[in-house]
Every structure is written in structure tokens, then in C-alpha cells.
Structure 1
Amino acid sequence: MMEVDTLLAKKIAGEITVSDNPGKNLRKWREIFGIKQYRLAEFMGISTSVVSDYESGRRKSPGIEFIKRYIQALIELDEAKGGPVVKKFSKDINIDAILDIREFLEDVPATKIKEVVKGVIVVNKNIENMHLGGYTVIDSIKAITELSESDFIKLYGLSTNRALIFTKVHMGRSPMIAIKVTKPKPTMVVMHGLKPDEVDKLGIKIAKLENITLMVSTLEREQDLIKNLRSINS
């Protein structure tokens, strides 16, 4: 599991170091790992108040050495419990079809997703009270041609309450059929690479039957889509 540990540590460190709110990101990951503040501090050999001050932002941004120690402590404490979180992340860490995957610091209004992807809603337009816990950006061609049913489930990260965002979409039928025949289901699907009036009728029907909000991103470039999504709640 050492390779997975290293990849996961790099993922967490990268997210924290580029964040506008590193303390909040530290706390988010500690809570994802399900580790109490006092237990983490004890393992790191520091006082609980030091951890609290960094997480709350009362101390200036933590240095890279503190971040490394913090992350390593999370992983080692998790492995002492059998590694449930590390194993969860190991499921998606080597899937080529996943272009980007994030869990938000706190749930984000679906209207914010719509804004940053310049979305046009095709199905289930009432999203005013909808909040999402994360997103996964997926290369639709690789997903359809390479992923098994069990692999497809790995697209959901830590929660199904998320947006699955498919790129390189031509009609939208294949991603929706894949969602139809697998469980669980996402709260929202965003398609990139086609126009709103080009979405396949069967794809629309499936979204309605499964009560999934279906949206089309009107951004031209895939890299802009990912860049805009990464700006959310960071």
C-alpha cells in the first residue's frame, strides 16, 4: 500500500498548499479520516491548541514540513485502524478516465456549479435548494471503453452527492446508459463537448426517470472547465 499512500499524500498536500484557506483544508482532511483533533496532536507530539490554531487560521499558513507531518499522521493513524480511508481512495487513484476529483470543504450550492461551468440545465431545472459535496471530471470515451461496472462505482469518491462531469461527449447517450445500469446514482450530471439541443433523447429520458439533474457546460475548453471547478471552495 506504500505507493497508494504516497500518491494520496501528494494529492492531499497539493490541495492544501494551493488553497486560499489551508487551515480549512487541513480540518477537512482530518474529518474525512475521522480522527479527533486531540488524537492527531498526540500522535504528532504537539499540543491540541497548535493543531486547532492552524486549522482555524489563527496561526499563519503552515509550512510544508508541518503539512507533511500532518498528512503522514493522518495516514498512519488510518492504517492503524485497518486503512479504511486509504483503501477507499486507492480505488480511484489509478483510473485514467478520472481527470479530476474533489471533495468540497463544505457543501456547495448547485447553482455555483452551474455558474462556473457556464451550464445550461436540460433536465430537472429546480436546483435552488440543491447542494453538492464534490465532483468528478471524467473522460467519457475512456470511461465507456475501459471501465467495468465495479470501476464505474469508483467515480463517486467519498459521496454520491456529487456532480459527475463527462468530457468529450458527442450525444450523451452512453454516459447516461452507464449510470442507468449501475448503482449508486449521482445527484447531477454535467456534459461537456456538445450543445444543449444535441443531448440524446434517451439520455434525457434516463435523467428524468432517475431524477438526476442533467446539465450541459457551454465552456469551449476542457482545461477551463477543470480550472473553474478547482476554484470552488478552495
Structure 2
Amino acid sequence: MTRGARDELAEKIAGEVALSDEPGATLRKWRTDFDVAQTQLADRLDVSPSVVSDYESGRRDNPGIGVVRRLVGALLDIDEERGGDHIRQHARVLSAGFESDVVHDLREYPANVGVERVFDAIDATELHRGGQDTVAGHTVIDSIAAITRLSSDEFFQLYGQSTNRALVFTNVTRGESPLVALRVVSPTPNAVVLHGLDDEAVWDRAADLANIDDFSLAVTDADLETMLDGLRGLP
């Protein structure tokens, strides 16, 4: 694990927490993204789990830079001891860039957002509910451009900072191509939205694939700019 990748990620997390209107919620988002339990983080910091809970819930005053540094360092230490998978994933995409005709929008949320709230924001109809109820960001992708122009590594970079997100595919006819493409990508996102069609036009196997790979699936026929405005209004 290179110190550069770790240091760059640490700066990103700390900066996001510092600039957030809800720093506790942002801390919780990153902890859950790293699959670290409150008790495990508390043990590493040598504090009680209630201290971590109080910071995340906002019951304690906003954490100062020293506290944030310790929290971020503990998360990264735990990940490195597990093999550093999350740090490597973030390192792959921190500098990733895409042409605007491939990716219309890619952003991370300051806190986890419920899948249902995301679907409501873009007037989407849910076809299948997966096992995860929240996402921490979204990527809006032109499905044809992504499938025809991106390599498998570049396709994975569409996840942004985490697979805990919603992938929204535009330029969709039935949804077959992007859903089949997702079958060879591991892990899959928490939610997928097919844009530009209604539930009657979607591929009849779409919900079956969503069930197999355990992600939430929805469709929306809102116009592109309206959908983007809805997503950018989250959380």
C-alpha cells in the first residue's frame, strides 16, 4: 500500500467531514463505507462506542481537526490490516476523469441517502428492491458510450468513491445491455436506474437479474435535465 494513496484518501475524507453541514453523518457514511463497526472503531481509538455514536449523531460538538484525524487514521489502519481493499479502490478513482458524453454526473453524498428517496427524487418506478437500503452517491452514464468505449477497469471507475451508490444508465432502449454488462462487474452497485423508458418497456428479465445480483432496480422516463436536477438536489 503506497503512502501516497493513503494520504490522498485521508485528506479527502477529512476535507469532506470538515466542509460538511453534518460532519457526524459524513463520518458515519465513511465508517459504514469501510464496513467498520462502531465498536471496532471505538476499540481502535480506545474510547467507548457511545463516544463514536455521539459524534455521528451530532450529540457531541462538531469534532475538531485532531479528532477527525484520529478517526480517519483509525479507519485507514483497519482497512490496511484487512488487506487495504477499500484504499486501493479509492486510489483507482481519485484521479479518474471521464468525457462528459460518457458520464453526465458523478458525485458523492455527505451522508447515506435512502434508495427510496433517490427514486422519488427522479420520479422513478421501483421494479425490485435489493438488500441494501441506502446509497452514498450516484453516477449518471450514457449506456451506449460506456459499453462501447470503456474498458472493464474504466467501467469499474464509474463507481466513483464507492459501490454503495446508484448507477443511472441513460440512452437505454430496454435495459438489457447495461444489466448484462453489470453481470461481469464485481461487486455490483446498491441501486441501478434505467432512464428513458417506463416499466412496460423494460426488458422482461431485468428484475430477475437485479434479484440475482441483489441490487435495487428502477426505471424513469423523466427528461435528462429534470432527472439530473433531482439527483443534484440530494441529499
Q: AA paired with 2:209?
A: E
Q: Give the unaligned 5+ runs of structure 1.
A: none
**Coordinate RMSD, CA, aligned:** 4.0
Counterpart of 1:29?
30
Counterpart of 2:214?
none
Residue among 165, 169, 188 paired with 1:166:
169
Q: Normalising by structure 2, report the TM-score.
A: 0.65
Post-superposition shift, 1:215?
Answer: 0.9
Counterpart of 1:57?
58
Q: Once the two structures are superposed, what CA deviation does each residue of 1:32-74 show, in whole Å capped at 9, x if it has no partner?
A: 25262333324xxxx5475454234222112345324432343
Post-superposition shift, 1:81?
Answer: 4.7
Counterpart of 2:141?
139
Post-superposition shift, 1:22?
Answer: 1.9
Q: AA paired with 1:62?
A: P
Structure 1's 64 and 112: CA in aligned 2 closer, same or farther, altered over 3 A? same
Counterpart of 2:181?
178
Determine if contact 1:189/1:214 at 8 Å carries over to the other structure. yes
Structure 1's 214 and 69: CA in aligned 2 closer, same or farther, altered over 3 A? same
Counterpart of 1:111?
116
Counterpart of 1:75?
76
Structure 1's 56 and 75: CA in aligned 2 closer, same or farther, altered over 3 A? same
* SS at 1:191 equivalent: strand
2:213 is the counterpart of 1:214: no
Q: AA paired with 2:133?
A: L
Counterpart of 2:194?
191
Q: Give the unaligned 5+ runs of structure 2.
A: 212-216
Q: Normalising by structure 1, report the TM-score.
A: 0.65
Distance in 2 between residues matched to 1:71 and 1:143, nearest whole Å: 33
* SS at 2:194 equivalent: strand
What is the percent sequence identity of the aligned residues? 30
* SS at 1:100 equivalent: strand
